[in-house]
Amino acid sequence: WLGGAPVPGGAEPQVAVHCLDCFLGAKDVVLPGHTDHWTTRQLLALHRPWLERSHRVCYHGAFHHALYDNTRAAPPFEVTAGETRAALWSLASAGRPGASIGGHLRPVRAYYERITDCQFCLVPKGVGFTNGRLMESFFSGCIPVIMSDAMVVPFDAFLPWPAFSLKPRMPRTPREAHDLVDFLEGIPAETGLRMHQSLIEHRCWFDYGPDSREDCSPYEGVVRMLMWQSRSREPRRYWGIAA
Which residues are CB-neighbours of 187 under 8 A, at least 6 positions away?
Answer: 120, 241
pLDDT, tens digit, 9 for 90 and up, residues 98-135: 999 999 999 999 999 999 999 999 999 999 888 889 99
pLDDT computed for residue 7 by the predictor = 43
Whether pLDDT at 230 is above 60 = no
pLDDT, tens digit, 9 for 90 and up, residues 146-178: 999 999 999 998 999 999 999 999 999 999 999
Q: Decide: 15 and 7 in contact? Cβ < 8 Å.
A: no
pLDDT computed for residue 3 by the predictor = 44
pLDDT computed for residue 132 by the predictor = 87
Three-state secondary structure string covering 15-44: EEECCHHHCCCCCCCCCCCCCCHHHHHHHH
Q: Which is nearest to 200 in space by CA: 47, 41, 53?
A: 47
pTM over 0.85: yes
Which residues are CB-neighbours of 175 under 8 A, at least 6 positions away?
Answer: none
pLDDT computed for residue 232 by the predictor = 60
| Residues paired with residue 109 on neighbouring β-strands, in sequence order | none
Q: How confident is residue 28, by pLDDT bands cut at 50, 70 and 90? A: confident
pLDDT computed for residue 24 by the predictor = 81
Helix, strand, coil distribution of the chain in percent, nearest 5:
40, 15, 50
For residues 216-243, give the mean pLDDT: 81
Provide the 10 A C-beta neighbour count for residue 69: 15
Higher-pLDDT residue of 145, 240? 145
End-to-end CA distance of the chain: 40
Q: How confident is residue 2, by pLDDT bands cut at 50, 70 and 90? A: very low
Burial status of residue 85 (CB atoms within 10 A of its CB: 0-12, 13-18, 19 or more): buried
Higher-pLDDT residue of 11, 77? 77
